[in-house]
Every structure is written in structure tokens, then in C-alpha cells.
Structure 1
Amino acid sequence: MQVGEHTLFVRQDGPSDGRPVTLLHGFPTSSHDWSLALPALVEAGCRVTTLDFLGFGASDKPHPHDYLLTEQATLVEGVWAALNISETDLVAHDYGVSVAQELLARRSDRITSMAWLNGGLYPDLHRPIRIQKLIHGPIGGLLSRAASERTFSASLRKVFGRPVADDVLHEMWVSTSSNRGKRVQHALLQYIDERKVNAKRWQQALESYAGSTLFVWGTADPVSGGHVLPRLRERLPDAEFVVLDAAPPTGHYPQVENPDAVGAALSAFLRRGELPKQAD
């Protein structure tokens, strides 16, 4: 889909008259992260829109380019306009949580409910792993170009709590590295700084949102895991929580590591039914 000056990969699943749901993916992969949990949403009657952010997956990966979360939010709005989506439930993970916070800050009235998976909602609680810090730094461009599927998979396994099949990791690598994707990783990771600049605005958007809110959270995540939950419970006392701590506990990618639990939690929440037994 052409959105402004860029071509984005966009997909829709489910009945054309189903409840609109938009899924926002994380760094450094793509909307394909949702593929294992998505069937549950389709079965629940949702019309699911997924897209690859600019610089990710099958979307354009311009270089050089100043990748901004605020631009990604504008592109999401462009997709909604092209697909005649006036209101939607929104589900966000990792990098996508910041895009979702910006969308809430702009027009929360068009977000009918909000579900969050592990992500840096509060910059002071975000704990990037070593390779992220290195790629974010001054030699990050060189390091990202030198990455291989082996080093990529090893890094991802450090943020997983559960085993993930090699073929799934391969798909994640392909989405990241295709179309010369390695060369844009350093620029994409500057989102860490943008989160800090917009921290107050985005925190306000999160905490003031009046719609139904669900957190589906993997506790074995070293980046944005169990250590974030106390603040979420304190600041959003009316939110619902599905904490994925059953052995083996889920890590940073709940929809990849534990897709059945994530699909069940999201579909129940979106149908306004009772939450599954993992809820506390």
C-alpha cells in the first residue's frame, strides 16, 4: 500500500464486517510476529489489520532516513484512512507500544480498547540488552551490517523465556534482514532516545486513556518483563492483567513464545467475555 512517499506491507484477515482490530509489532522484526496468535482473533470474528512499520519486514527500508516513532504513527493513520477504519481496537508490542502511545496522545477517541504486550511504556524501566546498546551507539551501523542469522538468533534467545523453533527464528531473521534491512537497524534503534524525549506525553496518554485496557505480559523478559508490572498495577488500577508466568514463564515475545495463551486472552478481551484462567 502506498502511504505518503512510502510503500508499506499491509494485510487484513477475518470477516470484512468484523470488529476492527489493529496489531502493531516490535523491533526488529515485522507483523509476521502475530501470525501464530492471529487465528484466534479471526475465529472471534475480528477484522484484523496488520502492517510492517517503515524500515521493517516487507515495507520500504529507506536509507539514509531519520526513523521516528511519530512518523510511524502518521503512517498508521494513513493506513487507517486508506482502509476506511475510523475506530479500532489496538494491540501493541515492544516498539509498537510507543507508536500506540503517540496515537493515543493524538486521538484516543478512535481507539475503542487497548491491549499491551511487553514493551517500554516507561523509559526508566526499559532495560535493553547489550547488543541493543551497542547498535544504538556510535559503532552501531558497522555492527548491524556485520550481523548474521546465527548472531541474530542468539540475541533473540536471550530475551525469550520459552523455546522457539528454529524455523520461526529464521522467519524473524528474514523479515529483519531482507531488502538490505541490516543497514537501517542503527537508525531504527534511535527510538530509545525518542521515547525519553516524549516520556511525559506518552505516559500521560497511557495513564489517562478511558477505554478498556489489558496487559498480556511475559515475566521472564529481561527488557520489559516482570519488573514493569508493579508500576502498571499502581498507575492503571482498573486495567486487566494476564500474566504469563506459568512454567516455563514467557519472555519478551508473548505472541511468538506463547501464542495460544495470547490469542485466548486477546480474543476474550475483544469480545468482552471473561478472561481465561491465566488472568489474576
Structure 2
Amino acid sequence: MTTLLNETVLINGQRIATGRHGAGIPVLLLHGTPAHSIIWRNIVPRLTAAGMQVHLFDLLGFGASECPRQADTSVAAQSQLVAALLDHWGLRRAHLMGHDIGGVSAVLFALDHPERVRSLTIADLPSYDSWPSPTWRDIHERFDEYARMPADQHRALMARQIGMAVFNKTLMQGPLLEAYLAPISGVIGQPAFYQHQVAHYDSRYTRDFAERLPGMDLPVQILWGADDEWQPVEYAHRLLGDIPGATLHVLENAGHFLMEDAPERVSEYLQGFIYQTDPEVLDVTRRPVYTTE
């Protein structure tokens, strides 16, 4: 599958695979786990066609980015990459969308650097005490053992887990499933997956959301798959109650990977929210026309 990544950036001496597409309103997309930038492939073209410059990257230890032998790849550490990348791209402020743990990193960045965030869209993110979810709990608690399991067993386990992330189970098959499995398989990918991803499925990064989120002062939109098997929609409503002025859209017939199940609806909500909140889009008659077709 065609990659969205077209540049390599060194941040603190570590190689980060990044992509930049289109021109116009700056938008930064943060993927989650077990995923990488491929999850945005149906979103980016819609955003660029709507007059936006889309920036994205593979988190450190994920996808095509470096998998260092020793590094902090927690959501807190990943949030610190955002400022460095915005500086690299010459962006003082940008609209952020974060999915899953990318959503956690986006929230942490917005709490620490609200002056750099034009708006925040978060989707199906772990929050409060919601993670690791039941289906990942044993894998998280014994991640070092799973890292050493036979390769075929690991791939079968991950195929099952990733299959749970979509509502339409026919989607996650063949080349698409292989594209998700490839970076987390093999002699490097398998142990790196458990070290850099699964080991950090830890609610200690989000337990204080109830205290911190009410102080958030920026436009926030929440998107959620109604059929998310990992992060129940009840947590979306809890986030809605704690974030002042937030809006929530629950997408029917969509699972945890809602960008796979409903890319057109995700794009439409994101575009609409950006147009409503961008301080530099003043003349609505000159806004680019976008479509979900």
C-alpha cells in the first residue's frame, strides 16, 4: 500500500518517519496502537482536497519510525515529540486529531501547550482507568513473555486482536491486515511491539483526567465508534462531561478503528469542526468545498 510518509526527521537523535501533504490549514494526525500512519490513508486525501495541509508521523517505536533498543515510548514521551515536529514544520499552531493512544498524547500536549493547539479532535482514546482493556490485560501484564512467543502464534494473536478493532470484519483481511501486521512482526518488529507499545498500556497516564480536563480551554471534539470493543462508549460521555464545551459524535456501525469503518464520516466531522473553530478562517464564502463522496 502507498505510504503517506515522505520525510525522515531526527528528533533527539532518533529517526521519525513523517509525512506532509497539501496546502492550507495545518492539521496534525496522531495514530494509535496497534497501528501506524496507514490508518489515515482514507482521511488524508479528503482533508487535502478540502484545503488543508496534513502533517502526520509514525510514533517513536511504531511503523517506519526508529525502534530504539532503549527509549521512553510512553504516551507522555510521545506527546513531547509533537512540539519538536511542529517546530520542524515551522508551525506555531495546528489543529490536532489523535486516535487511541495518539489521542492521549494529543490531550497531554494540549494540556501542557494550549497556545499551540487551534482545536483538538480525539477519538476512541484510553482514558481514566479504561486501559489496558480486558482483551489486552494479560498481554500487557506478561508482555515480556509474549515478546518471546513463536512468531506464528504472535501473528495469529495479533490478527485476532486487530480484527476486533473494526465493526466490518471483512475489512481487516488480506493486504490490509498484512499492512497492519508487518511492522509488529519478525525478529525486530515482534519484540519492539511489546516493548514500545504493549508495555505502556498503563492508566497511570490518564488517572488524573478528572482533575485536569475541566481546566482545558480550547475547542474539543470527541468522535467514538458505537461498537468499540476495546474502549466502551461510556468513556466518551465521561470525557464529554469533564471537558468544558466539548462536543461528541458517536458513529454507528463503527468500531475502535473508526477511520477504517467510517472514513467519510470521520473526515466530515473533522473538516466541519476545523472550519467552525479555526481563528484564521474568517470569510465562510471562501472556504474550500469538501465532500464525503
Does the TM-score normalized on the shorter chain lie above 0.5?
Answer: yes
Q: Which residue of 1 aligns with 2:217?
A: 210
Is the Cα–Cα contact under 8 Å of residues 160 and 253 in structure 1 kept in the other structure?
yes
User: Does the 8 A contact of 1:135 with 1:189 survive in 2?
Assistant: yes
Distance 2:149 2:72 in 1: 19
Give the secondary structure class of the aligned counterpart of 1:116.
strand
Instruction: Tell me the amino acid that sits aligned with residue 264 of structure 2.
Output: D
- Contiguous gaps of at least 5 residues in structure 1: 275-280
Higher relative contact order (CA 8 A, sep 6+): 1
- 2: CA distance, partners of 1:131 / 1:139: 14
Unaligned runs of 5+ in 2: 1-8, 278-283, 285-293
Corresponding residue number in structure 2 for 1:11: 19
Aligned match of 1:263: 267
Structure-2 residue corresponding to 1:63: 69
Change (3 A) 1:7 1:179: farther
1:192 aligns with 2:196: no
Q: Which residue of 2 is the match for residue 243 of structure 1?
A: 250
Correspondence for 1:134: 139
Structure 2 counterpart of 1:125: 130
Identity %: 21
Q: Name the counterpart of 1:51.
A: 57
| Partners of 2:162 and 2:172 within 8 A in 1 | no
Q: 1:175 aligns with which of 179, 183, 190?
A: 183
Shift of 1:253: 0.6
- TM-score with structure 2 setting the length: 0.82
Rate the CA distance shift 1:40–1:197 in 2: closer, same or farther, 3 A.
Answer: closer
1:145-184 aligned within 5 A: 147-163=153-169, 164-166=171-173, 167-177=175-185, 180-184=188-192
Structure 1 pair 159–218 and aligned structure 2 pair: CA distance change class (3 A): same
Q: Distance in 1 between matches of 2:186 and 2:260?
A: 20
Distance (Å, rounded) in 2 between the aligned partners of 1:105 and 1:224: 22
Give, in whole Å, the separation in 1 of the partners of 2:135 and 2:95. Answer: 34
Q: Does 1:114 align with 2:113?
A: no
Summarize the Cα distance change of 1:132–1:39 in structure 2 as closer, same or farther, 3 Å threshold: farther
Equivalent position of 1:272 in the other structure: 276
- Please, what TM-score do these two structures have when normalized by structure 1? 0.86
Is the CA contact 2:214–2:243 (under 8 Å) kept in the aligned structure 1?
Answer: yes
- The 8 Å contact of residues 121 and 203 in structure 1, kept in 2 or not, is answered as no
| Counterpart among 207, 222, 234 of residue 227 in structure 1 | 234
Distance 1:229 1:76, change over 3 A: closer
Question: For residues 209-243 of structure 1, what are the alpha-carbon distances to aligned partners after superposition, in whole Å with 9 as ceiling and x for unaligned?
Answer: 21111111101112113221331232236212221
Say which SS state the counterpart of residue 20 (structure 1) adopts.
Answer: strand
Look up the match of 2:280.
Answer: none
